[in-house]
Structures are given as structure tokens and as C-alpha cells.
């Protein structure tokens, strides 16, 4: 394949469901000329309450599919949980493929915080992962982190269950303590799951105007630009790129959410990442 043909290949993006659409939104804003393939592994969701061995196996299966069947030139793992469980395995399996993972924005939150108290909302699997613990250990002494496992929240967002999402957001925000600029209050809240930015307005109403919400989409999109440029795979500015939507689960649900969150209208293809699925 020529270098120009390889550069025109799409960037693969995957998550367990619709959460990664928040990352795709940031990627398209940063790299509007690029082509994307987004895969929702909804048939195997939620990732956030799965064991690492299962997550690693699914990530490998999905990556194999995106490389072999969709011909992606790079891969973005748009899921904190999958990144923590499988990013090293994916990079070892595909050493020539630019692969960008995602992690909760603890470091920038700690650096920017004035009260030095930072809230972190994430899935239980992310908070219990070895990768997250390493990240937390590196930041010891830089800030106090208030960790909140948000069981069921990603699933409620995935299913479009607004009432449950609102109830859970209120429950978890209240459990974390005070938000604001006063001593001992959290002035930054890290959204440690890619689903959570999709209910950012709801969380904003709960924590108030003096708390900064941080998501991982923008830094991931900037890192994707850097690795593509380094590999000589960055398309020059020009015509807006295309987006292909794939799902291992309900194509109608992904289509509806893509239209709702990104304004994307189009046919969603069923992704056969394995025999019978």
C-alpha cells in the first residue's frame, strides 16, 4: 500500500458502547479531515464491571477486526476501562500500529487545582485497575483525590435512561462531599469514563459553577494528531472526512445516539467481530 493510500485509511475508535462518542466528537473537532470507523461493542457491554482478562480478550478481538476488516491506520481505545486492562497487550500485538489509549485526567486536575482536592468519578474496574493505581501513586502529595465508583451510571447513559442517570449522578456527587473553592472542597471533577461527558450538563448543575469538569477527549485527540504526524499518516486539511458506524449490538441504538450526541445521520453496520457475533 502506498503512503498516500495508507494515510487515507480510517482511524479506528472503539468503546463498549456510546461513551466513546464523546471521544469521537473531540477527534472530529481536532482532525476534521480524517476518516473514522467507530465500533460500539454493545453486545459485550458494560466493560466497567468486567474482569481484566475478559476486557483484554475483547479488546484484542475488536482490534483484530478493525485492522483486518476495516483497514484502520491507527487505533484509539476510547474507554478508560479497556485502556487500563489491555493497552499493553494491544501494542505488543500490533507494534507497527499507532495506538492511543485514554486515562482519567488526574495529572492536569492536580496541577490546576487551587484547593488541591480533586474528585474522580469512574467505573469500579477503572478505579481497581493496576494502571490507575500506578497513576495515582505518581501523584501522591500533589493533591487529595476523592474517588467515586459509579456503578450503573454508564449503563444508564448507554440505555438512554435519563431518570436513572439523574438519580445516580445525584447520589454519587452527594456521596463525594463538597464542591467549590473553599478549603477542603473539590474544585476539579475528573470524568473518568467516556460515557460521563454525555451528561456533563447534569453533573454541572449538581457540582455548581465553581468546579471545573475535566474529560479525556481533547487530550486524546491532540495525542492522536501527534502520533499520526510522527508516523507520516496525517491527512492534510481539506474535505471533511467520513464516519462509519459499527456495532456488535443494536445498530438502531448506536444510530440514534450518534444522531443525538454528534448530529451524525447514517446507516450503522453490524460488526461481526467473531463467529455468530
β-bridge partners, 36: 11, 243
Q: Catalytic pick from 26, 79, 105, 120?
A: 79
- Annotation says 193 is catalytic: yes
Is-cis flag, bond preceding 123, omega within 30?
no
- Annotation says 79 is catalytic: yes
d(CA 191, CA 226): 23
Q: SS3 sequence, the chain?
A: CCHHHHHHCCEEEEECCCCCHHHHHHHHHHCCCCCEEEEECHHHCCCCCCCHHHHHHHHHHHHHHHHHCCCCCEEEECCHHHHHHHHHHHHHHCCCCCEECCCCCHHHHHHHCCCCEEEEEECHHHHHCHHHHHHHHHCCCCCEEEEEECCCHHHHHHCCCHHHHHHHHHHHHHHHCCECCCCCCECEEEECCCCHHHHHHHHHHHHCCCCEEECCHHHHHHHHHHHHHHCCCCCCCCCCCCEEEEECCCHHHHHHHHHHHHCCCCCEEECCCCCCC
Q: Catalytic pick from 39, 109, 146, 193?
A: 193
**Residues belonging to the active site:** 79, 193
Amino acid at each position: 500500500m502506498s503512503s498516500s493510500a495508507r494515510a487515507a485509511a480510517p482511524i479506528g475508535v472503539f468503546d463498549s458502547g456510546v461513551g466513546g462518542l464523546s471521544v469521537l466528537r473531540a477527534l472530529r473537532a481536532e482532525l476534521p479531515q480524517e476518516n473514522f470507523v467507530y465500533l460500539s461493542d454493545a453486545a459485550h457491554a458494560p466493560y466497567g464491571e468486567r474482569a481484566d482478562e475478559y476486557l483484554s480478550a475483547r479488546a484484542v478481538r475488536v482490534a483484530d477486526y478493525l485492522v483486518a476488516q476495516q483497514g484502520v491506520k491507527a487505533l484509539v481505545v476510547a474507554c478508560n476501562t479497556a485502556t487500563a486492562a489491555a493497552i499493553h497487550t494491544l501494542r505488543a500485538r500490533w507494534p507497527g500500529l499507532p495506538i492511543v489509549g485514554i486515562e482519567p485526567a488526574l495529572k492536569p486536575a492536580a496541577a490546576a487545582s487551587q484547593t488541591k482536592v480533586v474528585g474522580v468519578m469512574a467505573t469500579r474496574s477503572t478505579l481497581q485497575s493496576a494502571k490507575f493505581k500506578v497513576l495515582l501513586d505518581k501523584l501522591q502529595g500533589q493533591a487529595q483525590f476523592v474517588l467515586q465508583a459509579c456503578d450503573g451510571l454508564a449503563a444508564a447513559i448507554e440505555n438512554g435512561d435519563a431518570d436513572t442517570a439523574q438519580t445516580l449522578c445525584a447520589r454519587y456527587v452527594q456521596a463525594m462531599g463538597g464542591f467549590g473553592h473553599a478549603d477542603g472542597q473539590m474544585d476539579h471533577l475528573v470524568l473518568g469514563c467516556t460515557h460521563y461527558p454525555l451528561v456533563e450538563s447534569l453533573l454541572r448543575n449538581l457540582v455548581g459553577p465553581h468546579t471545573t469538569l475535566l474529560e479525556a477527549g481533547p487530550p486524546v485527540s491532540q495525542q492522536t494528531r501527534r502520533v499520526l504526524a510522527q508516523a507520516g499518516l496525517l491527512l492534510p486539511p481539506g474535505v471533511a472526512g467520513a464516519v462509519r458506524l459499527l456495532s456488535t449490538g443494536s445498530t438502531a441504538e448506536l444510530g440514534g445516539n450518534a444522531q443525538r450526541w454528534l448530529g451524525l445521520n447514517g446507516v450503522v453496520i453490524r460488526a461481526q467481530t467473531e463467529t455468530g457475533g
